[in-house]
Structure 1
Amino acid sequence: MSLNEEKDRNLFDGSGKLEMDVASAGKVGEDEQVFEEEKELVRGLQQRHIQMIALAGTIGTVSYPCRHCGLFLGSGKALAAAGPVGTLLGYLFTGILVSGVVLSIAELAALVPLTGSYVRHAEVFFDPALSFAIGWNTVYSNCITAAAVLISFWNTTISNGVWITIMGLLIIATNMFFIRVYGELEFSFSMLKIMLIIGLILMGLVIDLGGVSGQHRLGFQYWRNPGPFVQYLGIGGSLGQFLGFWTTFSNAAYAYSGIETIASAAAETKSPRRNIPRAAKRIFIRVLLFYVLSVFIVTMIVPSNSPLLLSSSSNASESPFVIAANLAGIKVVPHIVNAIVLTSAWSSGNSSMLGGSRTLYGLAREGHAPKFFLRTNRFGIPWICVAFISIFIALGYMTLQDSAATVFQWFQDLVAAAALVTWITICLIYLRFYYACKRQGIDRSELPWAGPFQPYVAWMGLLGFGLIFLTGGFVVFIHGDWETETFFSSYFNIPLILILYFGFKWIKKTKIVSLDEMPIRYYIDIANANPEPEEVPLKGWGKINLLWT
């Protein structure tokens, strides 16, 4: 069967048998072969959009109103639990693991640039049942995340419900029109976050070196007193210090969540085989520059025993940078940080809406969701998917009451655990793909892009995040610290993913795709038959841009 004769991308029939028509390649023009969805979706994300979305991901999502916030807020909680050295090492090691995940998903997306990324890759390179399970797991986590909004810092007289309504409508409007609108907004939000981080790093250095009037040079005094590590939960000796350090892995992992979204809209990205890997290749250096360097500065300007770090306000007032600014008498910084945090909340809502709606579209493409989710509007947007995710924005109104807000925080912990499951799944899919290449005698140099350090970084991500996930709720097993809510939110994803996976497998009788049957050569042929246009050289001021070139 020729490529031109293949019509459907559903790789499996009801029995789980791999069929011959293994891609939704449709005929466009006379000879050109593309994936079917490329005729329905609009490729409006350009290189600079993907680069900046990847960069914003390394700065973190800040929409979680709980103890696992992004870089702006969550690093303070980590510092209080682990101390300066424990926090720095935790964010560094987690950044290395996350970089492996991004390199893995980028290699897969370069070969098979489909909307839904790893959900679609699971169908091809692992098992349709895993595609179903991880797909709906991702949809539900994005439904909850899209509802989160930070707005309480200024304590305005206007009800938070008004702000949630405004933010919700803006998120819906942004995602209902051209994908480029989303790209331009994320580009702008990313620029704001980058400028804020650079400004805060410089401010932290000035404070640490004694550049603020009336304050002495701090240097590394907080590393010596109260010390490099914290005795977590009052447990003495090296065990208490190690447990404090271990909590940072979970905190940092949650702060990095969403970093894999650079591949979610692959079918809507211009030249995805070039631009997605380009964004992924620079992920580690960006982790170092924006996360590790920022956390390093934080450890020098705020003591780990500061009572302000234990604030439960979940707004900019608990940011360690804001705490340091207040201690130094710099009054304007809290308002600047909160303003950027608010735009970051909107950005995070946009990202969750995009990730959730494109995952749902991908599920419908694979037959794991109703086909009406495939409908697109005249802008090339899967509008029914966006509308479905939009319904769950109403969960944000739960924050208007204190008791409901507590339940909402449990939801956020569930979402954080789902992020770890996603990363584990990406590494698992990649490893199956990698060893299928070995089995079929396919040299990875034949791929559109082969990520470095493989399969070692994928194995590190699989084992590392697997261990972090299994031990994420260890605190409830310590004598006297049992909390049913914490146990449930930490481990609910285990039975959920197993029920989804084995339930679908039992009903549809699917089988794990064997290494010999994976259609890797087929996708290589599609890539070779559709070379991407040559990159246009940068001119003028574009030559000095170091962020997205």
Structure 2
Amino acid sequence: MDKKWRASKSSQEIVETVASEDRYDFDFHDLDRVQRRLKQRHVQMCIAGTIGTGLFLGSGNALRVAGPLGALIAYTLVGTVAYSSLCCIGEMTTWAPITGTFPHYASRWVDPAFGFAVGWNYFCANATSVPVEISAAVILMTFWDKDASFHRLFSRTMTSHAAIYTAVIAILICAINIFGVRFFGESEFFFSVIKLILIIVILFAGLVIDLGGGPDHERIGFKYWVNPGPVNRAHLVEDGNTDRFLAILSVVIQAAFSFQGMEMVCIAASETENPRRNIAKAVRRVFYRIVVFYMLGILMIGMLVAYDNPDLLSKVGTAAQSPFVIAMNTFPHLVNAGIFTSAFSAGSSSLFSSSRVLYGLSIRGQAPKFLAYTTKSGLPIASVLATSAFALMSFMAVSAGAETVFNWFVNVTTTGGFIGWFSINLTYVCFHRGMKAQGFDLTKNVYNNPLQPYLAYWGMGWSLIFILMNGYAVFFKFETSVFLTAYINIPIFAAMYFAYKYVYRTKIWKPLEMDFVTGIPTVEETELPADPPVTFLEKVSAVLF
């Protein structure tokens, strides 16, 4: 194995790193053809772009299962894990804003076999999210379907309309990504603004209604926290306290689906102008956005809707059972329209993320080479088209017979997201050790969180717990299909890792062997001087975006 000597940027000490064989060559400048076309406002809104049906529709199930306090606890816990994961990937990305993002970091700083398994796991999880969000958007569309009976979910009329809606939405989502990253960025910015306005309106309107400003002028306060109560029961064991704890655990999985996808802001680094500055700015603001978007949203619906509300418990299969629509029953159509844009936007974001990860795998020889083909404008069209094929899975939700199989994919998606979070935090722990060992000053990076590496340990530990407890309910009433969808990702991930390791004889990098220089553009190569805001609108934009 050949060896190189490389100088640390933070000191003049010479440290020995291993360049080894061709398959470990990390300089892919000649292969990477994507272009930096996303602007600062696009990147700043990427986090809002991942807010989809997991919050607006899935929160209803969380409230029904665990009650208002139980749902709030679950969302808060998962929010801290999502935050730790984003801080980890944000710090690694501001050091190396290159194509391939965290699967490549895993190959570079943990083990090439680990990067291979992480990349394909994340691709499959996000590619499967595309039909999930499309199907959710179709459910929201049927809210306005006058011919569809809310009590006859699989009537002929509704099934026919659902198929048409599915086709139209799938084509539009794929078209947005095929037209190019700039078009994708503009559409996500537009939809994200709608989502932000919707959430702010809901929070203010909810507060007014809770304080007695609704049509009936009833002051609600925390009435539903008293009756029917703050935490519901899971009905798995006889002991009340234990059963309520299990109900909260059940909601953790639902909450995780709501948060997954935030890492897209870093996946877009190789196609972003001034990536280090813009990503650092987005990551620094994510804590406040999690608190406002998720925590206050869950708190508000828990105050306005009882967990035993008949509309919440109904299985109508439309947005009528969304807690946001139930709470804002004075203008449900407006709320439903806003939630629809969320589902559409989240589906488009999932397609973007998965296609870029697939492209990164391809240019590094871990996926078929034809998937690395790009257009003259830098669009990885082959990877986009391959990922778009997953949108066809959304038609499975139209058929009653295939819906069960489709729900399995939803569960697999969530498990894959947990593995992705665990991988990000583990990779950062290795990154942190290697940087320290080679004499790099982490505090001089464009973004550095002072809580590291303890934040990564927190995220890694809880992600592992989430993976193991994902299907815990099946052990109270065993069902083979539920068990498989909850845990099948674990042996698949292990099989990919060990198979790649066996074939290519890869090694786990030691701290002094990690490469922190090759193929990584310098700050001078990626960052342009920031233009200070001058006008009033520019100053407002600088604060918001």
Gaps of 5+ in 2: 7-17, 148-156
Q: 1:368 maps to which residue?
A: 366
CA shift for structure 1 position 426: 0.3
Counterpart amino acid of residue 270 in structure 1: E
Write the mapping of 1:116-265 to structure 2, written as runs, cut at 5 A.
116-148=100-132, 149=134, 150-151=137-138, 152-155=142-145, 159-233=161-235, 235=237, 236-265=239-268
Conserved in 1, the CA contact under 8 Å of 2:273 and 2:526?
Answer: no
Q: 2:414 maps to which residue?
A: 416
Counterpart amino acid of residue 533 in structure 1: L
Secondary structure, counterpart of 1:542 in structure 2 = helix
Conserved in 1, the CA contact under 8 Å of 2:48 and 2:195?
Answer: no
Q: 1:543 maps to which residue?
A: 539
Distance (whole Å) between structure 2 residues aligned to residue 433 and residue 265 of structure 1: 20
2:393 corresponds, among 379, 385, 395, to 395
User: Deviations 1:94-132 (Å, cap 9, x if unpaired)?
Assistant: 111211110100111111112231111111111111111
Counterpart amino acid of residue 102 in structure 2: Y
Write the mapping of 1:405-444 to structure 2, written as runs, cut at 5 A.
405-444=403-442
Conserved in 2, the CA contact under 8 Å of 1:448 and 1:527?
Answer: no
1:288 aligns with 2:272: no
Distance (whole Å) between structure 2 residues aligned to residue 85 and residue 401 of structure 1: 36
Secondary structure, counterpart of 2:143 in structure 1 = coil
1:489 corresponds, among 485, 491, 495, to 485
Conserved in 2, the CA contact under 8 Å of 1:73 and 1:319?
Answer: yes
TM-score (norm 2): 0.89
**Consecutive aligned runs of 4 or more in structure 1 exceeding 4 Å deviation:** 521-524
Conserved in 1, the CA contact under 8 Å of 2:173 and 2:344?
Answer: yes
Write the mapping of 1:10-159 to structure 2, written as runs, cut at 5 A.
13=21, 18=24, 22-25=26-29, 37=32, 40-57=33-50, 60-62=51-53, 70-148=54-132, 149=134, 150-151=137-138, 152-155=142-145, 159=161
Q: 1:530 maps to which residue?
A: 525
Deviates more, 1:404-413 or 1:312-321: 312-321
CA shift for structure 1 position 239: 0.5
TM-score (norm 1): 0.89
Secondary structure, counterpart of 2:513 in structure 1 = coil
Secondary structure, counterpart of 1:530 in structure 2 = helix
Distance (whole Å) between structure 1 residues aligned to residue 407 and residue 217 of structure 2: 38
CA shift for structure 1 position 340: 2.1
The RMSD of aligned alpha carbons is: 2.1
Deviates more, 1:230-239 or 1:496-505: 230-239
Counterpart amino acid of residue 13 in structure 1: E
Conserved in 2, the CA contact under 8 Å of 1:116 and 1:265?
Answer: no
CA shift for structure 1 position 25: 4.1
CA shift for structure 1 position 539: 3.1
Deviates more, 1:222-231 or 1:457-466: 222-231
Distance (whole Å) between structure 2 residues aligned to residue 144 and residue 416 of structure 1: 10
CA shift for structure 1 position 410: 1.0
Counterpart amino acid of residue 457 in structure 1: L
Distance (whole Å) between structure 1 residues aligned to residue 57 and residue 398 of structure 2: 21
Distance (whole Å) between structure 2 residues aligned to residue 253 and residue 373 of structure 1: 30
Deviates more, 1:116-125 or 1:528-537: 528-537
Distance (whole Å) between structure 1 residues aligned to residue 143 and residue 543 of structure 2: 31
Distance (whole Å) between structure 2 residues aligned to residue 72 and residue 353 of structure 1: 20
Distance (whole Å) between structure 1 residues aligned to residue 316 and residue 260 of structure 2: 21
Corresponding residue pairs, total: 511
Aligned residues with identical type, % of pairs: 36
Counterpart amino acid of residue 283 in structure 1: V
Secondary structure, counterpart of 1:147 in structure 2 = helix
Q: 1:469 maps to which residue?
A: 467
